[in-house]
Amino acid sequence: MQSKISISNLNFYYGKEQALHDITLEIPEREVVAFIGPSGCGKSTFLRTLNRMNDTIPIAKADGTVLIDGNDIYAPNTDVVALRRKVGMVFQKSNPFPKSIFENVAYGIRINRMHENKADLARQVEKALRDAALWEEVKDRLNTSAFGLSGGQQQRLCIARALAVQPEVILMDEPASALDPIATQKIEELIVELKKQYTIVIVTHNMQQAARVSDRTAFFMLGKLVEYNTTQKMFTSPDERLTEDYLTGRFG
């Protein structure tokens, strides 16, 4: 397995509160890795360390190393904007800009000056929308407001927006938790399709979702990594008793 992200001995603190304890794991290229665990276990915090989204919190502090393609993203000379372009993010609640569908996707391409001309911009927007499995549903109303889309479509628009700037890694924080089962299924199918091109890390409360979409699963408890295994192994015969208890609902 070719490692895309390599995390070693990562500790993370909110002020004096330690949220992550000595996390070490490898995320392989072009696989889907799911983080599961009870609320407050640190899975979202951990996800956000992978593109330094926690930098915006003044009291937050990380130590240890996070290498992406062998480069330490916490090194002082890291270009955080470039990092977040390479490591895109999709959030629990879809957050389209108050703009047209087209402009939502075009935004990142424009500010990063990734297009040659208008036609090229339109081509890139179409590609991103196609990759997010949204093109067929919106191609006739690209200039209407993104708020006119359904929740599931808005979430796929946010995925298209993330894809538009040509990332290599996509972090997803509960991307389907606010969606109905049909929209959730579409997102899950999309995730499986996207892993052909991207490395995907997904945080989910829904264990079944982790089982369905991921190649590997990491189980967190109280800021510690309890078990990291192939999803097949994890859901049929986990190595740790604690994992077994969590997966079978025998917790507490």
> Closest CB to other proteins among 48 and 156?
156
> Closest CB to other proteins among 8 and 232?
232
> Closest CB to other proteins among 68 and 132?
132
Taking CA atoms, 209 is separated from 174, 180, 214, 248, in Å, by 10, 13, 8, 15
Binding mask 5-24 for other proteins (x = CB under 8 A): --------------------
Pairing assessment for the beta strands 3-14 and 60-68 based on DSSP bridges = antiparallel
| Residue closest to 150 by CA, chosen among 183, 198, 189 | 183
For residues 235 and 213, is the Cβ–Cβ distance under 8 A? no
| 189 φ, ψ (degrees, to nearest 5) | -65, -40
212 binds other proteins (CB under 8 A): yes
Beta carbon of residue 184, minimum distance to other proteins (angstroms, whole number): 12
Strand order in the sheet with 216-221: 87-90, 169-173, 199-203, 32-36, 216-221, 224-230
Beta carbon of residue 20, minimum distance to other proteins (angstroms, whole number): 27
Stretch that binds other proteins, among 24-32, 65-73, 168-176, 228-236 (CB under 8 A): 228-236
Beta carbon of residue 71, minimum distance to other proteins (angstroms, whole number): 33
Angle (CA) 235-69-25 rounded to 5° is: 30
Beta carbon of residue 112, minimum distance to other proteins (angstroms, whole number): 29
Stretch that binds other proteins, among 107-115, 138-146, 149-157, 207-215 (CB under 8 A): 207-215
Query: Position 5: which residue type?
Result: I
| 132 φ, ψ (degrees, to nearest 5) | -90, 10
32 binds other proteins (CB under 8 A): no
Beta carbon of residue 131, minimum distance to other proteins (angstroms, whole number): 12
Beta carbon of residue 169, minimum distance to other proteins (angstroms, whole number): 21
Which of the residues 165 through 194 are near other proteins (CB under 8 A)?
Answer: 185-186, 188-190, 192-193
| Residue closest to 199 by CA, chosen among 87, 54, 79 | 87
> Closest CB to other proteins among 169 and 213?
213
Name which position in 35, 231, 243, 246 contacts other proteins (CB under 8 A): 231
| Residue closest to 27 by CA, chosen among 41, 40, 10, 11 | 10
Task: Give the span between the Cα atoms of 226 and 46, in whole angstroms.
Answer: 14
Positions touching other proteins (CB under 8 A) are 133, 185-186, 188-190, 192-193, 208, 211-213, 231-232, 235-236
